[in-house]
Amino acid sequence: TLIVFTADHGDHLGDHGLGEKELFYEQAVRVPMIVVDPRESANATRGSVSNALVEAVDVVPTILDVLGLDPAQHIVEGRSLSPLLDGRGQHGWRDAVFSELDYGFRDARRVLGRQVDECRAWMVRTERWKYVHWLGMRPQLFDLQHDPDELVDLGDAPGYDEVRGETQARLLDWHS
């Protein structure tokens, strides 16, 4: 039996002075994913930990792959985790993950004085950078290598125009 243990989001539990799941801090977006793959090919990685960037949308293609079924790539998003599970490694694996947020029905909308259709945000996270595009507001940028707790927002800091441009382009490419 293939076992996949994961969650759709984490909770802040006081991190950044926040509760619940809103915003794109690591506590909310970096959730556990534990996969127990019964296939003999997975023996090479059994009991190991991977820091590969995976998304919840990878669960369905993984299950289909393990079952030997067509992943229907024209319908199903995500990628099978089999290359990570059977030891083929991260070569050619994705180098970014994405997320989106609609806070139109949260108290933040009223606090900010925004209309429901103005309350959207999108995030791209690479190994080093996290860029958040807030509809109608300035972006956020975090250097996860030097600031893993996301305490220094570089969204409008001088000297980061190139990084903001590159990460924004990645996000727009994904969004289109």
Task: State the SS3 of 19-70.
Answer: CCCCCCCHHHHCCCEEEECCCHHHHHCCCCCCCCCCCHHHHHHHHHHHCCCC
Q: How does strand 120-126 pair with strand 129-134?
A: antiparallel
Element (H, E) at 167: helix 161-175
For residue range 30-75, what is the model confidence (pLDDT) as tens digits? 888 999 999 999 998 999 998 899 999 999 999 999 999 987 878 8
DSSP 137: S
Q: For the beta carbon of residue 124, count every other beta carbon within 10 angstroms.
A: 24
pLDDT digits (tens, 9 = 90+) for 123-152: 999 999 999 999 999 999 999 999 999 999
Q: CA nearest 47: which of 91, 85, 93, 5? A: 85
Residues 143/15/168/72 CA torsion (nearest 10 deg): 110
CB atoms under 10 Å from CB of 71, counted, come to 17
Q: Is the pTM of this model over 0.75?
A: yes
Three-state secondary structure readout of 81-119:
CHHHHCCCCCCCCCCEEEEEEECCCCHHHHHHCCCHHHC
